Amino acid sequence: MDNSLNERKNNRRKFLRVSFLTGLSAVAAKTVFADIPIDPEKETGEMVTLLSPDGQLVKVAKEKINYMEKYISPEASRKGIPHRKFVMVIDLAKCKNARKCVENCQKAHHLPPHQEFMKVYLMQESEEAAPYWMPKPCFHCDKPLCVSVCPVGATYKRSDGIVLIDNERCIGCKFCMTGCPYSARQFNWADSPFLHVDQPYSPETSVPGKEGTVSKCDFCPDMIRDGKMPHCVSACPMGVIYFGDQLEDIVTNGEETIRFSELIAARSGYRHLEDLGTKPSVYYLPPVNRQFPVDRGFDHEDEINQRYKDVPYVKKMHKN
Amino acid sequence: MSYKSILSRQSLILFLCSIMASFQLVAQNNASTLELKELKTSDESRIFNVKLTGESEEGAMPVFEAKIDFFTCADGKSESLGTATTNRNGQATLKLVKGTWFLKDKEGITEVKATFTGLGKLSSSQASVKFKELNLQIALSEKDSLNTIQILASVIGPKGENIPLKETNFNLYVQGLFTKLKIGECFVDGGAGTFEFPKNIPGDANGNLKVFVRLEENEVYGEVEKTDNVKWGNHRSGFVEPTRSLWSSGAPIWMITTLIILLTGVWSHYLYAIIQLIKIRKEGKKIDKN
Amino acid sequence: MESNKRKQELLKEFLPQLEKTSIVWYAWVAFLFAAIFLGIYCLVLQILKGHIITGMRDNVVWGVYIVNFIFFMGISYAGALVSGSMHLFKTSWRGPILRIAELTTIIALFIGPLYILLCIGRLDRLPFLFMYPRIQSPITWDVIAITTDLFGCLIYLYLSFIRDFALLRDSGDTKLPKWRINIYKVLAIGYHDTPTQRKRIKNVTNIMSAMIIAIAIIVYSVLAWIFSVTLQPGWHSTIFGPYFVIAAVFSGAGVIIILMRVFRSVYHLEKYITKQHFVGVGMILMILSMFFAYFTFSEYLTKWYGSKKLDDNLIQILFTQYFWQFVFSNYVGTLLPIIIMGIPRFRTINTITFAAIVAVLALWMNRYLIVVPTLETPYMPIQDTRPEWMLYKATWIEWCLTFGGVGTFCLLFTLAAKFVPIIPVSEVADAELEMSAELAKGQDNHEATVTNSLKKQIVHKKEANEL
């Protein structure tokens, strides 16, 4: 660090070689120091509330992200991150339908309230079987039927295992949606304010969405390139979702870092509907030795709880 | 300028600050909390991380753009180490390179304090860590087809002599894509310990691994870390995209051949039909002329 | 030259249909245009407001549009199969209904693909289908197949028209405007019915009719594969190819019967399209309805008998929520043609037409039951609170576009019948000649076997001409 601030300090105290980091890069630091508009009324962009050192809540413009700096064009997004094969492990024993994964994903991908790339299902295999919460992203299958059936190559499987959609190529025929047995894909049925985001489009961010095209969970490759985990992983308060690279055999939920193969072996990991042969990249750990009773997942407004009314467990609950 | 004069100036500022702070006490009803963490890194520099949170109408929030002052203290004396400013997450980092001078007490213990001077509604807060200098060396070697990590740890005694470290557990990690994976612990006694490195860690595409040996949450020495890069991984080949499959960009050969056979079969008949039509037309023209 | 004379004579009989246009005709065309414009209005709405104004949602992503697509394509292939095989196997009574079948083929083939376009979210990107084709996708197969089929049908249709174009060109004293005669002249490409030309046409028509049958089977199987290559429980079936082909011919035969009935009344073709024709096509309808019933039974029996959860869900929903539709499409629709055709007493032109109408509607419903309930029972349970997201219900936009398509079909048929005689004059005249030659050859020992009314008619007519 050799900015002027440090130089002055070094001159004053030569016996100390102070290296000064603010946790931000020099460029970012400059913007923080120089560009924060104190007068919020003049700012039309998105604002965030922060606490100033004198204890005042101030509204400042959201940090401008230089999208072009990290921009991955639709063409470039067809190649995967080299020497990686991403994998997700979802621990059903820990999920209590807190929906933080859903909400953070929606926020990050600018999705309207009802559109969810990550969905939480209440699963119950049969009347007598135990119900459990099942977060379900796109499975990024190794034999992706959605990719096979696409007539224009708008959806593709990358070398890092991620299946993406280029919504500048997609013609909106919806064949991939019938091809996917996991209902992972959604159609942008109408134009909405959510589709108008001032940001260059990249299949890696899936933002902004486009009317008349298909979209789905993208495993957040933009975050991965940044060394960060997908939004659903970092958002989960229970550490339900593990994410990592299958080739280096390491997955993490942010708190705990485990070897993927050991985790799957120790906890009998499985893939949903394995017999369909789609080879998903998402594994589940069975809901045994649960940390929460299933009822904890109903701590939501009616609109959400209503979704599960057809599950035998819920039907029975309503009867009693 | 001598050290002493600087010292006195520092303490004067501190004194003034505390007086100012006491004047503002009435207004300062919102508490602030400071967390401080310290780490001695592999290049023997020291990193101090702080996080400042403050009470507000909207609950506890990170405080941004707050100046955090760092001091080294021992035996009632204190000296400034520098200042760092918090970012939007309320975090600030001070990195002091190898050879930075710290105040030490008789037992060689250094205390580092981080302080936030209260301003406006926010009260002041401080946090401190104590640590003793530890020399940590690691040596990675391949012996008898075994990969071992030798850990050497010693403390400098009061007379400057090397005292081997006793009965201490070190944690070993390898760097992953996002976080570090713990691969085991190593017990060090008499200043040394060996760790047999597992053979089945993949590492990156070339089998390269970044190994971390860490002393963590130690009451005496704080956090100390040593890293090294080594090619001990047994990386499997990556996911190879099939060149001709249903889901690749190139189609399977049988599909292409079938399509070509079918299309040539059909379209050649069309062509024949069109040729016949052209012939009919030619014959017709002849008749029309006559 | 005897044949030429007879052809001109026949043509004279049909010319009024091409020359005169009644007020009723104009009213009918105006009505069709109104239906089409309503459809266009809905299409514009759909393009402007997005697919949200249809009943399609994330689970049922395809609705009435794809049903119409399968339906019209089916009719088209049926037309091709019926006309192709009638020509190839030289069915003696084919003459008068051949053109109806051929026109059905080509017109339905123009309309069918329009419905797949309605399912597409971004019509502005259609060129991508040709710019970035992936031949692994059944949609690409379909694009190739439909294009190939369209070309083949156009050639085949044209081949059957040339001789009549030549007749129209040579008809001399018609009230047809000059420009129309000129069009006929161009289209007739100098055909003068010389022996070589005649041989060529016959030869090519034979080849093309065989080709058309083969293509129709492949193309309709490809359409079936769009569904059966997916893992959806109601679609992932090995018999879908043949099942769709049979269903197509079944519905197409029905449409041909309906059109025969319509043209018979409107153009007073009682002399040409006789009960024998209705019974003939009706027999095809009956045989196909038996095949269709067999396939349907086999398809649902295996699903019902097995215990797979998703198959079971589908059967459940079909026999509860869609019970009456299921009964209509798979019981009434197949049994009625069998009963009416199977019992000779019931066979009248009107009952056969009625059976055909029921069969066509039932087949449309059958496609609906293949598409919609399957999408309503996916692998992942539908956990949603919005009813329109869970169950499909077509909106008025979709219905208007459906009727717009039917309107376009009728309009194109009306216009085509105004442009060329709906009875293939040359074909009929030639058939008559062949017949009489045959008759003359074996008059003594064959007389008793000549029972059908057409032959009698021809003999009668010939005698009248000779007098």
List the chains bordering chain A where 3 or more Cβ pairs fall under 8 Å. Answer: B, C
Q: For residues C417 and C232, what is the distance between their CA atoms, to the nearest angstrom?
A: 43
Length of chain B: 290
Which has the higher per-residue pLDDT, B112 or C447?
Answer: B112
Cβ C380 vs Cβ A182: under 8 Å:
yes
User: What are C23's two structure tokens?
Assistant: 């007020």
- Chain A residues with CB-CB distance to C136 below 8 A: 148-149
Query: Residue B24 above 60 pLDDT?
Result: no
- Among B260, B266, B282, B285, the residue to mutate for chain C (most C Cβ within 10 A): B266
Mean pLDDT of chain C: 87
Nearest by CB to residue A148, choosing from B101, B120, B247, is B247
For residue C436, CA distances in Å to C2, C442, C459 come to 12, 10, 7
Q: How many CB atoms lie within 10 A of CB C75?
A: 28
Binned at pLDDT 50, 70 and 90, residue B123 comes out as confident
Is C231 within 8 Å of chain B by CB?
no
pLDDT recorded at residue B206? 84
Q: Name the residue of chain B whose CA is nearest to C216's CA.
A: B266
CATH of the domain at B200: 2.60.40.1940
ipTM score of the complex? 0.87
Binned at pLDDT 50, 70 and 90, residue A183 comes out as very high
Query: Residue C264 above 70 pLDDT?
Result: yes
Q: Name which of A314-318, B98-102, B229-233, C162-166 the model is least confident about.
A: B98-102
pLDDT recorded at residue A18? 34
pLDDT recorded at residue C411? 96
**Which of B80, B97, B132 finishes a domain?**
B132
Helix orientation angle between C64-88 and C138-170, rounded to the nearest 10 degrees = 50
Same domain, B47 and B79: yes
Alpha helices in B109-170 (DSSP H): none
pLDDT recorded at residue B239? 60
Which has the higher per-residue pLDDT, C44 or C433?
Answer: C44
User: What are A258's two structure tokens?
Assistant: 């485990």
Q: Residue C309: helix, strand or coil by DSSP?
A: helix
Cβ A168 vs Cβ A174: under 8 Å:
no
Cβ B57 vs Cβ B84: under 8 Å:
no
Closest CA to B132 of B74, B209, B206: B74
Q: Name the residue of chain A whose CA is nearest to C130's CA.
A: A152
Q: Parse chain A into domains and list their residue ranges.
A: 4-61, 76-285
Query: Residue B199 above 70 pLDDT?
Result: yes
Distance from CA of C62 to the nearest CA of A (A): 8
- Chain B residues with CB-CB distance to A143 below 8 A: 246-247
pTM attached to this predicted model: 0.85
Binned at pLDDT 50, 70 and 90, residue C442 comes out as low
The count of C-alpha atoms lying within 13 angstroms of the C-alpha of C239, restricted to the half-sphere facing its C-beta, is: 16
Q: For residues C255 and C397, what is the distance between their CA atoms, to the nearest angstrom?
A: 25
Cβ A60 vs Cβ A50: under 8 Å:
yes
Same domain, B14 and B36: yes
Query: Residue B253 above 80 pLDDT?
Result: yes
Q: Name which of A183-187, A250-254, C56-60, C167-171 the model is least confident about.
A: C167-171
Work out the angle at residue A234's Cα, subtended by the Cα atoms of residues A230 and A238, and round it to the nearest 5 degrees: 135
Q: Residue C354: helix, strand or coil by DSSP?
A: helix
**Which of B80, B106, B132 finishes a domain?**
B132
Is B166 within 8 Å of chain C by CB?
no
Cβ B225 vs Cβ B213: under 8 Å:
yes
Nearest by CB to residue A307, choosing from C50, C131, C383, is C383
Across the range C429-445, mean pLDDT stands at 70
List the chains bordering chain C where 3 or more Cβ pairs fall under 8 Å. Answer: A, B
- What domains appear along chain C, each with residue ranges and CATH number? 2-424 (1.20.1630.10)
Strand (E) or helix (H) holding B54: strand B46-54
pLDDT digits (tens, 9 = 90+) for C318-358: 999 999 999 999 999 999 999 999 999 999 999 999 999 99
pLDDT digits (tens, 9 = 90+) for A59-107: 887 776 666 777 899 999 998 898 899 999 999 999 999 999 999 999 9
- Chain C residues with CB-CB distance to B276 below 8 A: 200-201, 203-204
Same domain, B128 and B139: no
Domains: count for chain B: 3
Same domain, B60 and B105: yes
CATH 3.40.50.720 assigned to domain A76-285? The reply is no
Closest CA to B227 of B245, B209, B244: B209
Same domain, B18 and B120: yes
Q: For residues B40 and B62, what is the distance between their CA atoms, to the nearest angstrom?
A: 26
Query: Residue B22 above 70 pLDDT?
Result: no
Length of chain C: 467
CB contact under 8 A, A171 and C134: no
Closest CA to B202 of A267, A250, A81: A250
Q: Which of residues 122-151 of C touch B (CB under 8 A)?
A: 134-136, 144, 148, 151
Q: Name the residue of chain B whose CA is nearest to C156's CA.
A: B273
Mean pLDDT of chain B: 84
pLDDT digits (tens, 9 = 90+) for C374-406: 999 999 999 988 888 888 999 999 999 999 999
Distance from CA of C272 to the nearest CA of A (A): 45
Query: Residue A188 above 60 pLDDT?
Result: yes
Which has the higher per-residue pLDDT, A268 or A29?
Answer: A268
Binned at pLDDT 50, 70 and 90, residue A265 comes out as very high
Q: For residues B49 and B172, what is the distance between their CA atoms, to the nearest angstrom?
A: 22
Binned at pLDDT 50, 70 and 90, residue B18 comes out as low
Q: Name which of A52-56, A152-156, C438-442 the model is least confident about.
A: C438-442
pLDDT recorded at residue C386? 86
Q: Is residue B240 part of a domain?
A: no
- Chain B residues with CB-CB distance to C203 below 8 A: 276
Across the range B129-157, mean pLDDT stands at 88
Same domain, B7 and B91: yes
pLDDT recorded at residue C308? 87
Binned at pLDDT 50, 70 and 90, residue A198 comes out as confident
Residue A9 neighbours by CB under 8 Å, 6+ apart: A18, A20, B82, B83
Binned at pLDDT 50, 70 and 90, residue B28 comes out as low
Across the range B34-61, mean pLDDT stands at 88
Q: Is residue B236 part of a domain?
A: no
φ, ψ at C162 (rounded to 5°): -50, -45
Going through A144-294 in order, the beta strands assigned E by DSSP cover: 155-157, 163-165, 186-187, 214-215, 241-245, 250-252, 257-259, 282-285
Across the range B178-194, mean pLDDT stands at 92
Query: Residue B141 above 70 pLDDT?
Result: yes
Same domain, B144 and B123: no
Q: Name the residue of chain A whose CA is nearest to B7's CA.
A: A13
Same domain, B119 and B144: no
- Chain B residues with CB-CB distance to A243 below 8 A: 178
pLDDT recorded at residue B242? 67
Q: Name the residue of chain A whose CA is nearest to C56's CA.
A: A189
- Chain C residues with CB-CB distance to B288 below 8 A: 190
Is C441 within 8 Å of chain A by CB?
no
CB contact under 8 A, C204 and B276: yes
Q: Is residue B106 part of a domain?
A: yes
pLDDT recorded at residue C297? 94
pLDDT digits (tens, 9 = 90+) for A132-149: 999 999 999 999 999 999
Binned at pLDDT 50, 70 and 90, residue B17 comes out as low
Containing domain of residue B191, as a range?
Answer: 135-230
**Which of B73, B104, B132 finishes a domain?**
B132
Q: Is residue B290 part of a domain?
A: no
Alpha helices in C231-306 (DSSP H): 240-266, 275-305
Binned at pLDDT 50, 70 and 90, residue B162 comes out as confident
pLDDT digits (tens, 9 = 90+) for A19-66: 333 333 333 333 333 344 444 444 445 677 888 888 888 888 777 666
Mean pLDDT of chain A: 84
Which has the higher per-residue pLDDT, C285 or B14?
Answer: C285
pLDDT recorded at residue A20? 36
pLDDT recorded at residue A186? 94
Same domain, B126 and B147: no
Same domain, B52 and B96: yes
Same domain, B24 and B115: yes
Cis omega (within 30 of 0) on the bond before A208? Answer: yes
